[in-house]
Copies of this chain bind each other. A is one copy, B any other.
Amino acid sequence: QSSVTVYGIADVLMEYRNKLNAAGDSRLSVTSGGMNTSRWGLRGAEDLGGGLKAVFQLEAEVGFDTGAAGSSFWGRQANVGLEGDFGRVIAGRSYSTTYDFMLPFDPMGYAPFYSWATSGGQIATQPRKDGMVTGVSNLIKYQGTFGPVKVGATYALGEVLGSDAAGRFLSVAGAYTAGPFSVALVVDQRNGTTITSGSYDKEKALHLGVSYDWKPVKLFAAQRRYTKSFAVGGTDLKSTMSWIGATWSATGALSITPVVYFQNIDSGASGTNDPRLFALRAKYELSKRTSLYAVASNAKSKNGGVVSVSRDDNGFADTQSSFGLGIQHRF
């Protein structure tokens, strides 16, 4: 009678990466999440009649190299809501509408070490790789599909005393699919949680993604235009992160995915570093749920800025390369 499904992704990679410290040392490591972040979760749906369903989801990150849990245990998903012909509305913690709508336009599927599509807020040290808002607490999220059109929105409360607007996040998106062609547009804004002179920092992003399934090759292109303005003084930080890539389904089981991510930093400390990442993946499906894969990447920054292949790290030199072999099993 229990309606709960236990599911997850076990993704482990043996990876070589160079230039991992100031001395320029390289390392071989066993790492979690070469294609997608390893995870496990619970989800369920209850039919309420009249086309209405109650839905819930709990999802947790898992380090399949050390067994570590995420810093917030259910940091990926912890939400409940209703689903019907109108779409789905959930409340709690989840990924932003920005994250959901752009995922189909990243051929690397947000791979933690081989995609910059989800790179975080601007990083203090160089290079910046600003800035998608991914996981969001205290949200209300809506998504609905009407024929070829998909619309969505996230509204997350800042819960900052003294200002309803501080800490607030808002994302609005639309997508359209016509045969092999898909396009999505997302605008979002996140306000800082610190109130200074009655104001707060503001991060705004506009995402645009297009794809064309020219079988057996699917082409992807996307761009994020990012601006951060400060509560008091300071020049706006601006950057544009773009990526283009393709997935070639060479055989029924084998696919090849090359992508390049490149950022144009318009202002600020890293203004002339303009980093880029090239990633290449070959995936061989043993089944629909289990794959072996090989992946290689190279990151490069201009004018001596430091760079890492990882979306989250700063790096120690103006280039870094990695190569890995992995297995992913979905359960």
Q: How far is the CA of A149 from the CA of B23 in the complex (A)?
A: 47
Distance of A288 from chain B, by nearest CB (Å):
9
Within 8 Å of chain B (Cβ to Cβ): is A46? yes
Chain B hits for A82, CB < 8 A: 327
Most B CB within 10 A of own CB, among A7, A138, A328: A138
**0 or 1 for each of A276-317: is its CB under 8 Å from B? (1 = yes):** 000000000011011000000000000000000000000000
Within 8 Å of chain B (Cβ to Cβ): is A251? no
Interface residues of A in 113-154 (CB under 8 A from B): 137-140
Chain B hits for A55, CB < 8 A: 329
Chain B hits for A111, CB < 8 A: none
| A40 with B58: CB separation less than 8 A | yes
Chain B hits for A139, CB < 8 A: 30
Chain B residue at minimum C-beta to C-beta distance from A94: B67
Beyond A64-B79, A66-B78, is A159–B287 a contact (Cβ under 8 Å)? Answer: no
Q: How far is the CA of A49 from the CA of B289 in the complex (A)?
A: 13
**0 or 1 for each of A203-216: is its CB under 8 Å from B? (1 = yes):** 00000000000000
Contact of A30 among B56, B138, B286 (CB under 8 A): B138
Q: How far is the CA of A68 from the CA of B2 in the complex (A)?
A: 24
| B72 with A76: CB separation less than 8 A | no
Chain B hits for A25, CB < 8 A: 161-162
| B23 with A162: CB separation less than 8 A | yes
| B81 with A74: CB separation less than 8 A | no
Contact of A4 among B7, B157, B328 (CB under 8 A): B7
Q: How far is the CA of A4 from the CA of B77 in the complex (A)?
A: 20
Chain B residue at minimum C-beta to C-beta distance from A21: B161
Most B CB within 10 A of own CB, among A49, A73, A139, A328: A73
Chain B hits for A78, CB < 8 A: 62-67
| A92 with B64: CB separation less than 8 A | yes
Chain B hits for A6, CB < 8 A: 2, 4, 6, 42
Chain B hits for A63, CB < 8 A: 74, 78
Within 8 Å of chain B (Cβ to Cβ): is A237? no
Beyond A6-B2, A6-B42, is A29–B138 a contact (Cβ under 8 Å)? Answer: yes
The list of the 9 closest CB pairs from A to B, nearest first, reads A67-B74, A10-B80, A69-B73, A30-B138, A67-B78, A54-B290, A10-B56, A25-B161, A66-B137
29 contacts between A and B (CB under 8 A): A4-B7, A4-B331, A10-B56, A10-B58, A11-B80, A12-B92, A27-B159, A28-B164, A29-B157, A30-B140, A30-B157, A40-B58, A46-B290, A46-B331, A48-B286, A48-B290, A49-B287, A54-B286, A54-B327, A56-B329, A64-B93, A66-B138, A67-B73, A67-B78, A67-B93, A68-B72, A69-B74, A80-B328, A80-B329
